[in-house]
Each structure stands twice: as structure tokens, then as C-alpha cells.
Amino acid sequence: MKTRIWYARVVAVLAATSCVLASAAGARTLGGDGATVTSVSPAHAVSGQRVMIYGTNLDGMSTVMFGGVPARSVVVDPGGGWVRAVIPAGAPIGQVPITLSDGSTELSLNMQIGAGSVPAAANRPPSYTSPSAHVKVVVAPQISGFSPTAGRVGSRVRITGASLNGALWVKFGGVRARIMASSASSIIALVPTHAHTGNIKVHTRGGTSLTAGFFRVLGRGAGV
């Protein structure tokens, strides 16, 4: 009787060990150990804009969600330094979590999504000629403020922020303005004829960004 009990216990232990080994053999960590996210640029954007998420060991990340809404366009740096995604239509407005996943690991950080949208930005994968090839990362413009907050047609307005160099156009309430000067941290533009009160938009090769507040055009009608 004792022999049968001992034999049954041995069989049970061996069976449990086999299950553990089989489970371990089938398990794998996607994206590598130590994956982290450090920042997102721009920190304030709208639906349709392209954003860069920076970190380490991100090359396995295949899914990006903005407030629970999956991005339809995702590009991953083979070197693991960044993930680029386009904010999807339907993403919630406000302080929204961005979640990156490789199927087993999830990383998260927050960004501000504003009301409105722009046409979905192109999101082409980088071209690598070798694993060590350099890729020039194009970052979307970031607007932190503008001064003055109101003015007449023809008046100068300074727009401040980051990655503003190479601005292709600036619009006041949807009307294109003349750019007088442009640098990485600021743009000086003239309030255009027929401008009306609304957001200021800046467009560069990295994408489009708009101000959180409205610029108020002074004067009658279109601001004349």
C-alpha cells in the first residue's frame, strides 16, 4: 500500500514538472527585455497628426492605441529607438494614454489630444541600407504659444514652440499667412487679409500642429 502511494506521488510530481517545462518552452518575450518609453512628440496634437514615441528596445512593438483606439498606421524603428503612429479618428479628446504593445508587454504614457482633426499624415517606413544606417527623424511641429493673442490684418504675430523650422505654411483661421521669419523655436507671420478669429496652424515636413487657443482678429468683418 505504501509503495502504491509513493509511486502515485512520484507520477504526480513528474507530470507537474512536465507541464511547467512545456509552458516555459512555449513562452517568449516579444520586443526584448527592458523596453521603455520616455517621451512623445508633439505632446499636444489632434486626430490625423503623426506623433513620435521615443524610448528603448521598442523594435517589437506592433500595436499603438490612443485612449483605447488603435492606430491604423504604425512604423517602428528597427533600432528600437522610436515608434511613429498617426492618431486615429475617434481617439478621445483630453489627456489620453498612449499604449504600446508587443503582444505580451504593454508600455504607456500620456499626451493631450485636442478637438478637431487634420488629414491623416503619411507614415512611411524608414529605408535602411544596413543595420547601422542613419535615419533622419522628421518631428512634427509643436506650438507652445503665440503673441499677441489678438491683432488686425497686417500685424505681426510671433508663434513659439519647437521643431518649427522649415515651416511650409502658417494659417490664421484657415487663411494662409505670410511668413516673415522662421527658426526652430519661433515663427513670425503677418495676419493675412480675410483672416478671421480661430486657431493658428503651422505645417512643416513633419506634420501639422495648431494652437490650443484662438487668435482674435480685431476690426470689422474679416478684421480690416
- Please say whether the dihedral angle defined by the alpha carbons of residues 215, 188, 204 and 85, taken in this order, is positive or negative: negative
Residue 138 is given by DSSP the state: P
Question: What pLDDT digit, counting tens, does each position of 29-48 carry?
Answer: 333 457 888 899 988 889 88
Give 14's pLDDT tier (boundaries 50, 70, 90). very low
Question: What pLDDT digit, counting tens, does each position of 172-192 carry?
Answer: 988 999 999 999 899 999 999
Residue ranges per structural domain of the chain: 36-117, 142-217
CB 192 within 8 A of CB 178: yes
Helix (H) or strand (E) run with residue 42 in it: none
What is 142-217's CATH number, 3.30.70.1150, 3.50.50.60, 3.30.1360.40, 2.60.40.10?
2.60.40.10
**Is residue 70 scored above 70 in pLDDT?**
yes
pLDDT at 171: 94
User: At which residue does the C-alpha cell 474679416 appear?
Assistant: 222
Fold agreement between 36-117 and 142-217: yes
Could you tell me which residues come within 8 angstroms of residue 47 by beta carbon, excluding any fewer than 6 positions away?
Answer: 87, 88, 89, 90, 91, 113, 116, 117, 118
pLDDT at 163: 86
Rounded CA separation 65/67 (Å): 6
Question: What pLDDT digit, counting tens, does each position of 98-152 carry?
Answer: 999 887 788 999 999 988 788 877 776 655 444 444 445 557 788 999 999 999 9
The predicted model scores a pTM of 0.44
Give 26's pLDDT tier (boundaries 50, 70, 90). very low
CATH superfamily of 36-117: Immunoglobulins (2.60.40.10)
pLDDT at 210: 86
